[in-house]
Amino acid sequence: MKHTDFGQMPCPIARSLGKVGEWWSILILRDAFYGLTRFDEFEKSLKIAPNMLTRRLAGLVAGGLMEKRQYSARPPRYEYLLTEKGKAFKPVLLAFIAWGNEHLAPEGASLLVVNRETGQPAEQILVDKRSGRAISDEDYMFAPGPAAPEVMRMRLREASQRVPFIKHPGSN
């Protein structure tokens, strides 16, 4: 089955999904943050077919989220390491944890993000790095960026009439 190429779409959500939107890719990245690096480690952890794992790792390497590095010449063996781009995916995984624990875990949280010193669970929020303020519907909105094509500007203009979180420059 041929997938749509989201890489050329102007929407950052679509472009991101084009790189990591397939669930195996996100789980591979999760395991990489757990410290797994070798093919057999990913295969064992995920219980994924080798051909599927090969494709997903190749996609993450091609997308610049992981790098493939040989660690054994005889036989040739490789490890897969997070790149800076891959490490920058961590806030997305943290958001998945918080959302999943809040909305999809009636039995309780199975994974927490905790303070290293106190062991206290973190209460995650999305914060504006410039101001330090929590991003909320009252104070923040979607707006077209400088590279937004006209279709995106139009979509946001129309949406701003329906959804308070979306504004268009010049609207109140």
Within-domain flag for 145: no
Give the pLDDT score at 167.
Answer: 53
Within-domain flag for 101: no
Give the pLDDT score at 71.
Answer: 95
Taking the C-alpha atoms of residue 70 and residue 72, their distance in angstroms, rounded to an integer, is 6
Contact 39, 80 (CB under 8 A): yes
Contact 78, 69 (CB under 8 A): yes
Within-domain flag for 42: yes
Give the pLDDT score at 107.
Answer: 93
Within-domain flag for 34: yes
Give the pLDDT score at 134.
Answer: 94
- CATH number, domain at 67? 1.10.10.10
Within-domain flag for 164: no
Q: Which domain holds residue 21?
A: 12-87
Give the pLDDT score at 89.
Answer: 95
**Widest CA span in the chain:** 66
Residues making up the chain, counted from first to last: 172
- One DSSP character per residue, the chain reads -PPP--TTSS-HHHHHHHHH-SHHHHHHHHHHHTT--BHHHHHHHHT--HHHHHHHHHHHHHTTSEEEEEEETTTTEEEEEE-HHHHTTHHHHHHHHHHHHHHS-TT--SS--B-TTT-PBP----B-TTT-PBP-TTT--B---TT--HHHHHHHHHHHTT-TTB--TT--
Contact 111, 97 (CB under 8 A): yes
> How many domains are there within the chain?
1
Give the pLDDT score at 5.
Answer: 72
Within-domain flag for 127: no
Give the pLDDT score at 170.
Answer: 53
| Selection from 9, 31, 30 nearest residue 18 by Cα | 9
Question: For each of the chain's 172 residues, which pLDDT tens digit applies?
Answer: 566 777 777 777 778 777 777 889 999 999 999 999 999 999 999 999 999 999 999 999 999 999 999 999 999 999 999 999 999 999 999 999 999 999 998 999 999 999 999 999 999 999 999 999 999 888 888 889 999 999 999 988 888 777 655 555 555 4
Within-domain flag for 156: no
Within-domain flag for 28: yes
